[in-house]
Copies of this chain bind each other. A is one copy, B any other.
Amino acid sequence: MLRQTVDARPYAAPYGIAVRTAFEPIEKSVQPFRGKERTFSPNAELFSEGEPADCVYKIIRGAVRSYKVLGEGRRKIEAFRLRGDVFGFDSGKAREFCAEAIDDVCVLIARRNTVVGAADYETIRELWEASARELKRVQQHALLLAMTAPQRMACFLIEMSRRLGGHPIVELPMPRQDIADYLGLSIETVSRTFARFEASGLISLPTSRHIVLRDADVLQRMHE
């Protein structure tokens, strides 16, 4: 499994000189992202599947889940968007996925048509590179889904630790159900695997949302 730095690192494109209500130079971002600031309560919908894809988002605070409903009450979470992530630059006109706030979320929103409509070579090239990064991420996720439950969980923990700042103490923003739907497992399997990891001394679980990685190396090797 590759260790390519599948960018949790968002990338801030020069999107839009849109209706400039806010200006935020985000750390980690080379370029500033301009857009309207907006907040969402837990489980509020940022956008839904099929809706016109005319905005690009950058997360200032909180976490977002991007998912698709599969009928019969099943749901597949395609991505977690965390603080600093830029997302929503789909190529098509309509959203492929739903996006929902997991906790209290604050985002910057920029109009997309100011970007795509603009005959700006550099901008389109940035968009292409953003798509390519996203592609890599999804490929990584597809590989993950071909592994065993412990491997998926290890993969998930390492990914979250890295994306949340690289600390061994991970504060998960999402409930077990979200993890399950992201990894293609049942909620019980997620819970049991955490328990087994703890029993093996790989992690500690002070609370259900706080995970301490005690042996990141073993977790890392578990899925390579």
Contacts and interface: CB of A to CB of B under 8 A. Distances in A.
A71 interface: yes
A30 interface: no
Q: Which of A2, A121, A142, A145 has the most CB of B within 10 A?
A: A142
Interface string A110-152: 0000000001110011011101111110110111011000000
B91 A128 contact: yes
A76 B121 contact: no
A217 to B, nearest CB: 16
A103 to B, nearest CB: 25
B76 A136 contact: no
Nearest to A142: B142
A1 interface: yes
Nearest to A182: B146
A224 B72 CA distance: 10
A132 B90 contact: yes
A70 interface: yes
A214 interface: no
Interface residues of A, number: 35
A224 B168 CA distance: 40
Given A127-B128, A131-B128, A138 B143 contact: no
The 10 closest A-B pairs by CB, nearest first: A91-B132, A128-B128, A145-B145, A146-B184, A131-B131, A142-B142, A138-B138, A135-B135, A121-B121, A124-B124
10 contacts: A68-B143, A71-B224, A91-B128, A91-B129, A91-B136, A96-B136, A131-B131, A134-B135, A135-B135, A138-B139
A78 interface: yes
A26 B70 CA distance: 34
B78 A139 contact: yes
A124 B2 CA distance: 27
Interface in A182-209: 184
Q: Which of A92, A96, A139, A145 has the most CB of B within 10 A?
A: A139
A131 B135 contact: yes
A90 B71 CA distance: 34
